[in-house]
Chains A and B, each alone.
Chain A
């Protein structure tokens, strides 16, 4: 039981990291209807630019600010030079364009900042918290808790920003109905640029967390791919959905990784590790059969 809890909590906390990436997808999808495949690559770019700036001698806080500036400029440039040219194209063309964008980033970022894997030290230690370990005998990493706290803070900030600021209201209006928003004088293109800026910021937070956890390396882009099943489960348009979906994916893949291989081994023999590599996608596949709009998504969906 104790072991089960430990796996479950570990999974939930790693799910927080997926949720951080998924959040960036949801923001862009809501505001512009673009499914941004490059979000994972943006996470990589953000983490690399922090590490790159620190290598040039900048302190951590300055590196983060510089990375934020880079991400914002990059987001705005993407909107201006790629997506604006593709207005009125079918969504699938936009999706493929963001795949191209992902490759663009994956080529450019290591060229500028170097490609060898590096550690990113945020000053948070990745070790179990003694108090919890003594009281319940469960290993919970301090780092994971901080990551969860950061995610909660980020979601709260975003929610407040969307609810109470002028720009936030405009963003919600655009997400609701492009035409109506345009007709009451909301500048659509500015809004899109802002959304890409915010998505860049979310990517930066995710990049900091992921980079500090696993090191800044190319594999980051693959881990970030897991945000896609998170979105399917949570729903493409829902911020809470991204969080819940992330937790579900994180917990279920860790549980599957621990508890499925022995079962399969007794059935077929052999070694069946690495289930977490595909489990989220297959889970998402089943979700598509049962509830294609996701847990919190809008009912309206491209039904065939």
Chain B
């Protein structure tokens, strides 16, 4: 029994439709943001920022993008990493080729470029769906990475397509330390997550969900399939593109096309399956889970093997990690298809009734 929403009466439509209709949720979100913006930067160390928090936020953003496409609009994509690559390379080129362009503008342009590419590869979704579409997005994955490797213009003629991101300077201030980069990434992710939360409860989001649940029925009630689906591809790729730009500029510093591999696309897909397809919160939970599990295994497995006296190698850790990912995917699909987000919701409901069963 953490809280009850009894006594909160809505007297206007605006109050009824706000993002977080329950007061405690609003307080919770504000508290979370306060902790993330003020307390975490004060207490966390260098390692935490650069190895855990920044990648967590960036992958949450990418998962959010894929969740819009797969979880809300029901179009499976196996090419999210490629759209991140487009974002990273586009941001690099905007910075390189346009004199004095503000970095945030080039991030936005990178997102828009990725959105354009996303629409292009989303076109097949107009007449195919399901795993046919999945194979079509595989084409995007392989083709885009190949293009970025082979056309030297994209990487400014560096060898094997590696780019080194420029400095992140906003209004004359350089974001150099991991702490500053964390704050920048956090701001962008928070804004875009709120925008996504807002979008999925609007008519656009409802149209996506209608298309996901049954496209024929959606068409019958007057939703135009083509713009709806293409918009989902565009918005999703925009999010992935910005995530890719942040990945290059705020996380790794220098990236190569092969880094945005099919494996990364799968990881992002796993994030939304485990976190919860069709849930904004789920994208964050899934990203945290998928990122933290390997770190946890790296620490826990050698100790466990040491306790049991088993022989142990680093290769085994990565095998166990892949094995666990696979098992968890099947487990979640069978037991809880809506993922961690649904578990969180069930937990809340139970707590509300506690100590009574009903």
Contact of B323 among A82, A103, A268 (CB under 8 A): A103
Does B330 contact A95, Cβ atoms closer than 8 Å? Answer: no
Does B138 contact A228, Cβ atoms closer than 8 Å? Answer: yes
Residues in B whose Cβ lies below 8 Å from that of A11: none
Does A95 contact B142, Cβ atoms closer than 8 Å? Answer: no
Does B146 contact A274, Cβ atoms closer than 8 Å? Answer: yes
Least CB separation from B157: chain A residue: A270
Question: Per-residue CB proximity of B305-342 to A under 8 Å, as 1/0?
Answer: 00000000001100111111111111001100100000
Does B127 contact A304, Cβ atoms closer than 8 Å? Answer: yes
9-residue interface stretch from A53-61, A106-114, A119-127, A130-138: A106-114
**Dominant secondary structure at the B interface:** helix
Residues in B whose Cβ lies below 8 Å from that of A96: 76, 269, 273, 329, 333
A21 → chain B, closest Cβ, in Å?
14
A76 → chain B, closest Cβ, in Å?
16
Interface presence of B259 (CB below 8 A): no
Residues in A whose Cβ lies below 8 Å from that of B225: 304
CB neighbors of A among B138-169 (8 A): 138-139, 142-143, 146, 149-152
Question: Per-residue CB proximity of B21-60 to A under 8 Å, as 1/0?
Answer: 0000000000000000000000000000000000000000
Contact of A106 among B136, B151, B322, B329 (CB under 8 A): B322
Residues in A whose Cβ lies below 8 Å from that of B253: none
Does A304 contact B215, Cβ atoms closer than 8 Å? Answer: yes
CA distance A100 to B274 in the complex (A): 11
Residues in A whose Cβ lies below 8 Å from that of B74: 92
Interface presence of B134 (CB below 8 A): yes
Residues in A whose Cβ lies below 8 Å from that of B262: 222
CA distance A225 to B76 in the complex (A): 17
Interface residues on A, range: 35 or more
Does A288 contact B329, Cβ atoms closer than 8 Å? Answer: no
Least CB separation from B142: chain A residue: A278
Least CB separation from A283: chain B residue: B139
Residues in B whose Cβ lies below 8 Å from that of A95: 76, 130-131, 134
Residues in A whose Cβ lies below 8 Å from that of B149: 274
Residues in A whose Cβ lies below 8 Å from that of B325: 100, 103, 107
Question: Per-residue CB proximity of A53-84 to B under 8 Å, as 1/0?
Answer: 00000000000000000000000000000100
Does A104 contact B323, Cβ atoms closer than 8 Å? Answer: yes
Interface presence of A1 (CB below 8 A): no
Interface presence of B128 (CB below 8 A): yes
- Known contacts A106-B326, A111-B316; decide if A292 and B128 are in contact (CB<8 Å): yes
Does B337 contact A93, Cβ atoms closer than 8 Å? Answer: yes
Does A35 contact B146, Cβ atoms closer than 8 Å? Answer: no
B51 → chain A, closest Cβ, in Å?
23
Contact of A277 among B142, B151, B273 (CB under 8 A): B142
B206 → chain A, closest Cβ, in Å?
19
CB neighbors of B among A256-304 (8 A): 268, 270-275, 277-278, 281-282, 284-285, 288-289, 292, 301-304
Contact of A100 among B134, B138, B333 (CB under 8 A): B333
Least CB separation from A285: chain B residue: B139
Residues in B whose Cβ lies below 8 Å from that of A103: 266, 322-323, 325-326, 329
Question: Per-residue CB proximity of A88-105 to B under 8 Å, as 1/0?
Answer: 010111011101111111
Contact of A292 among B132, B146, B152, B215 (CB under 8 A): B132
Question: Per-residue CB proximity of B241-271 to A under 8 Å, as 1/0?
Answer: 0000000000000000000001000100100
Least CB separation from A84: chain B residue: B334
Residues in B whose Cβ lies below 8 Å from that of A225: 138
Does A97 contact B139, Cβ atoms closer than 8 Å? Answer: no
Least CB separation from A273: chain B residue: B150
Does A229 contact B266, Cβ atoms closer than 8 Å? Answer: no
Does A107 contact B129, Cβ atoms closer than 8 Å? Answer: no
Interface presence of A115 (CB below 8 A): yes
Interface presence of A151 (CB below 8 A): no
Does A285 contact B136, Cβ atoms closer than 8 Å? Answer: yes
Interface presence of B186 (CB below 8 A): no
Question: Per-residue CB proximity of A223-240 to B under 8 Å, as 1/0?
Answer: 001001101100000000
Interface presence of B105 (CB below 8 A): no
Interface presence of A85 (CB below 8 A): yes
Interface presence of A180 (CB below 8 A): no
- Known contacts A99-B266, A111-B319; decide if A277 and B146 are in contact (CB<8 Å): yes
Does B127 contact A292, Cβ atoms closer than 8 Å? Answer: yes
Contact residues of B with A, CB < 8 Å? 74, 76, 124-132, 134-136, 138-139, 142-143, 146, 149-152, 215, 225, 262, 266, 269, 273, 315-316, 319-330, 333-334, 337
A/B interface sample: 11 pairs, CB < 8 A: A85-B334, A99-B269, A107-B321, A107-B322, A111-B320, A222-B262, A270-B152, A271-B150, A284-B136, A302-B129, A302-B130
Q: Which 5 A-B pairs have the closest CB atoms?
A: A107-B323, A100-B329, A104-B326, A103-B326, A107-B322
